[in-house]
Amino acid sequence: MTIVRLGYVAMSMNLQNCSPSQTMTFSQFSKIKDREAAIAKLEKIAQSNLDNCLRLLKHNAANEIHFFRFSSKLIPLANHDELRDWRYMQNLNPSLQKISQFLETHPMRVDFHPDHFVVLNSTDTNIVKMSLKTLKMHEMLLKGMNISTEHRCVLHIGGAYADKEKSLEQFISNWGLIPVSLQKMLMLENDDTTFNLMDALYLCEKLGVPQVFDYHHHLAYHEEDNWTEQWQRILDTWKYSTLPPKMHISSPKSDKEFRAHSDYIDVNMFMSFLNTIKGSTPQIDCMIEAKQKDNALFKLVDDLNKQTEIEWIDKTTFKIH
């Protein structure tokens, strides 16, 4: 028996005017001649993003959803070189505290998936520095919300740069440049074009980082390895974490566009995964990566209701026997 908890990514299809990812480009910022007014507008956008984030968390609580990915675009231009003097955490602290207080009374697992430009295996020191700056921003947001920073940011490994083996070793070399507090935040994910399950496992085992297994990515890109033979190794990367193992579930858009995400989750594909891993871990948290966001979660719940081996704990959490 395994407990399965479902989650979704960043945005609701059911709440109106509730984007947590509203933004402002630096070009737009620069056109406002009064710098204080420009920063005030930036803070207003960030404030709105955080307010909408709280609305999303309330929506989750009302629907008994206990797993959620925050948008990494909560604070626009937070890392821009021209805004190094912007102390956004100070003015946004009241909004962060409201989120903290809500999560205290309505606990749920929350985390981030920083954007693809966070590349830790680059040989370009400027790219690595900017990546660390972005991770630091995520750390500050987590601390501002009084959320434990342990294993809260999932990353792809990075670029292959024409030599995959060398790029894996570059990741290990660069790891020594990463502050320990940021190292503890990270989880690594297998991707669908460059670094497969075995590549991610290699790094995770060597560096003591949990691996987030992306089932769809694996089906789209694997070599000779069978994921079931490596499943226990994946679970073992989580043995020192206070959080249950996490995986990503999505479904192909079509046979022709296999790597693209579908609007919804193929319940048969998901059940194939669950029936293979049930009993191997007390709990697993499954992040739905689908175009229809929370609607994909709700439809998956409806589809799972037809499965006889499932026993529901609440609206989005169940046991599989």
pLDDT digits (tens, 9 = 90+) for 11-47: 999 999 999 999 999 999 988 999 989 999 999 999 9
Single-letter code of the amino acid located at 10: A
Number of Cβ within 10 Å of residue 36's Cβ equals 8
- Bridge-partner residues for 318, per DSSP? 4, 312
pLDDT for the residue 81: 87
Q: Give per-residue pLDDT as tens, 159-217.
A: 989 899 999 999 999 999 999 999 999 999 999 999 999 999 999 999 999 999 999 99
CB 267 within 8 A of CB 235: no
pTM for this model (two decimals):
0.96
Residue 223 has pLDDT above 90, yes or no: no
Q: Give per-residue pLDDT as tens, 100-110.
A: 999 999 999 99
> 281 in helix, strand or coil?
coil
CA-to-CA dists, residue 114 to 63, 136, 146, 156, 289, angstroms: 26, 11, 19, 9, 14
pLDDT for the residue 141: 97
Q: Give per-residue pLDDT as tens, 47-56.
A: 999 999 999 9
